[in-house]
Amino acid sequence: MDTAASALRHRPEALLLDFGGVVFQTRKRPEGRADVARHLELVLARAGHTVAADTLLASLNAGLAALKDWKNAAGRRLTPAELDHRTIWTDFLVSDLDAPVREVLAGSASELLARMSPLLSEHEVRPGMRELLATADELGVRVGMVSNAHSGRSHRTLLREAGLEDHFGVQVYSDEVGIRKPHPEMIALAARALGTVPERCWYVGDTQDRDVVAGRRAGVAAVLLTRHHHTDSPPYAVRVRADAVYDTPEGLIAPLRESVPTDGAGAGRTAAPAQVRRENPSGDARDRVATGSGPCAPRSGDSEASRLPAALLLDQGGVIADSTPTPDAQRAFAERLVARLRRAGHELAPDTVLEAVLTGRDRYRAWKGAHPEGAAVPEASPRQFWCEFVGRDLSSQVRDFLYAESAQLMVEYARAKSHARMRRGVPEVLRFCEAHGVPVAIVSNTVCGRAVREELDRFGIEHLVGAHVYSDELGRRKPDPATVAAALTALDADPARSWFVGDKPWRDTAAAHHGGVGTTVIVRGGSASDERVDAALTGVEHERPTHVIDEMDDLLELWAPALL
């Protein structure tokens, strides 16, 4: 029996697939990079920066070339880490541009990468893929995605739009888990999340240097390739070989159908966890951000009312919007999560999952409350939220599923946990700022900046915001002055002439004070009671606001003297 026949003889418990070159074939759009550059030009203009599309295109071309070299080099490493979204922009794509430009794009790094992917390439489901997935479903073989990606979010969207999402029990993307192939943990994580081990999986990729090497290191039962752009031309010599190579995924259908079921294969048998080291070598790289210059007393001289702010920094919750809990939506989210867990081979009751989510929320709140609010205040990562807080009392394989899906689960949870209503006066204030050249940034503590952006878009005001700083993306939360420093850098604004509007003196005013912001405002009706707001007016200096207002449009009265 030849090597390929031997490797493919036994039916796998899971079929693990790469994204590009396996599920989808890609084609570069000749105009793609120019389209990206024009979009970046518009994004930067909102923050008050004029950068020509040609300049941005030249920087993108250089950055993408450097990024390609980095990816090839990472393929030689034993346990390569993935780049975080901010670093891709600041250290590669626009590293030669000015700091304010870099910070604006870094603040929207995830959004921009998701937008960039379909602009750069067209994606089409490969011949035979739908039939292969249907065959796997018929045979009871679970399917998982294992892909190096700088925007797993974009890949998830493409998979959903192609009508393939429900075939996959789990999706593992390098940018969401912090490591990249050929790190064997990419494959091992997907296997565990599907209730099995690599030795009972087939892995299908399209590259020798990343996919074949990753499969061999993980110890999968069979490593298979479907030919695509670079299958036969790796960037350097690779010693290991695939068990079989097919021109398209169609070639895998017969071997899968002819494979011999073994004890548990295709029946969802739960196996012991693979003995592959679990790690995230990159850690939470989101904390690699510029910090503030240290405590600095706010400066609000006599001329404060004589001119408009150099920049307006706004909190989101309690300032732009009020939120009310939505228990019915939370239960619906739990039921959807139960269905996804079942697809991955895990049976849990809806009440069990809902209780885990609500308990995780309470643990997160306790974690925030117990964390000393000193100079550096970290934010919990999606992995920490779903594995440590939500999944603490669940099985290890369910926690592996939650880890792999944590980025996607976070946005779905954020959408479900509450409903936001825009506060009175917010559109008028933002339109005033647009008309008078005052750049605006959102500086918000949140578990999901993506959900905040969706709210801004629903309110019809997202286009009026020049820069975004969200704690889950920055890795730091207020009162850490790094949050304010990032916003001021992005808007290239003088801190002493800038205004910060929040609803919590102990968090918002303190962050602004330590960031050197000259004028701080607290708006009533948010998280802080009137009694606590009033107490702050005579309390410690770094929590003492310059102004207290009842509604957001009261800002227009404060600025009226500057228009005389």
* Whether residues 302 and 431 fall in one domain: yes
* pLDDT above 80 for 223: yes
Domain span at 379: 326-418
Note whether 453 and 316 are within 8 A (CB). Answer: no
First to last CA, the chain: 90
* 3-class DSSP assignment, residue 132: helix
* Whether residues 377 and 450 fall in one domain: no
* pLDDT above 50 for 282: no
Decide the pairing of beta strands 467-470 and 440-444: parallel
Query: What mean pLDDT, rounded, does the chain reach?
Result: 93
Give 443-491 as a DSSP string: EE--S-HHHHHHHHHHHT-GGG--EEEEHHHHSB-TT-HHHHHHHHHHH
* 3-class DSSP assignment, residue 540: coil
Q: Please, which pLDDT band fits residue 375 given cuts at 50, 70 and 90?
A: low
Report pLDDT for 266.
Answer: 56
Q: What is the pLDDT of residues 157-198, one digit of tens each?
A: 999 999 999 999 999 999 999 999 999 999 999 999 999 999
For the chain, what percent of residues have pLDDT higher than 70? 91
* Whether residues 355 and 398 fall in one domain: yes
* Whether residues 378 and 448 fall in one domain: no
Note whether 179 and 281 are within 8 A (CB). Answer: yes
CA nearest neighbour of 312 among 431, 420, 452, 423:
431
* Whether residues 315 and 459 fall in one domain: yes
* Whether residues 370 and 486 fall in one domain: no
Domain presence at residue 69: yes
Which amino acid is located at 23 in the chain? V
Beta bridge partners of 244: 224
Report pLDDT for 374.
Answer: 67
Report pLDDT for 290.
Answer: 37
Domain presence at residue 268: no
* Whether residues 345 and 443 fall in one domain: no
Number of domains in the chain: 4
* Whether residues 147 and 230 fall in one domain: yes
Note whether 211 and 203 are within 8 A (CB). Answer: yes
* pLDDT above 60 for 273: no
* Whether residues 115 and 167 fall in one domain: no
Domain presence at residue 273: no
Report pLDDT for 265.
Answer: 59
Q: What is the CATH number of the domain that holds 434?
A: 3.40.50.1000
Report pLDDT for 369.
Answer: 87
Domain presence at residue 279: no
Please give the Cα distance from 93 to 108 (Å, whole number).
13
Q: What is the pLDDT of residues 99-151, one digit of tens each?
A: 999 999 999 999 999 999 999 999 999 999 999 999 999 999 999 999 999 99
Summarize the confidence of residues 374-398 as an average pLDDT: 94
Report pLDDT for 305.
Answer: 52
Q: What is the pLDDT of residues 408-454, one digit of tens each?
A: 999 999 999 999 999 999 999 999 999 999 999 999 999 999 999 99
Q: How many helices (H) and strands (E) does the chain have?
A: 24, 16
* Whether residues 433 and 312 fall in one domain: yes
Q: Please, which pLDDT band fits residue 373 given cuts at 50, 70 and 90?
A: low
Domain presence at residue 451: yes
Report pLDDT for 122.
Answer: 97
* Whether residues 298 and 442 fall in one domain: yes
Q: What is the pLDDT of residues 469-481, one digit of tens each?
A: 999 999 999 999 9
* Whether residues 15 and 109 fall in one domain: no
Report pLDDT for 287.
Answer: 38
Residue 10's φ and ψ, nearest 5 degrees, are -95, 135
CA nearest neighbour of 401 among 382, 387, 416:
387
* pLDDT above 90 for 296: no
Q: Which residue among 86, 106, 121 closes a domain?
A: 121
Summarize the confidence of residues 309-321 as an average pLDDT: 98
Q: Please, which pLDDT band fits residue 293 given cuts at 50, 70 and 90?
A: very low
Q: Which residue among 371, 396, 418 closes a domain?
A: 418
Q: Which residue among 121, 148, 170 closes a domain?
A: 121
Report pLDDT for 4.
Answer: 80
Domain presence at residue 280: no
Q: Please, which pLDDT band fits residue 288 given cuts at 50, 70 and 90?
A: very low
For the chain, what percent of residues have pLDDT higher than 90? 88
Give 297-318 as a DSSP string: -----TTGGGS--S-EEE-SBT
Domain presence at residue 249: yes
Domain presence at residue 284: no
- What is the per-residue burial (b if ≥16 Cβ within 10 Å, else e) of 65-93? eebeeebeebbeeeebbbbbbbbbbbbbb
Please give the Cα distance from 105 to 44 (Å, whole number).
8
Q: Please, which pLDDT band fits residue 2 given cuts at 50, 70 and 90?
A: low
Report pLDDT for 173.
Answer: 99
Report pLDDT for 295.
Answer: 29
Q: What is the pLDDT of residues 47-64, one digit of tens each?
A: 999 999 999 999 999 999
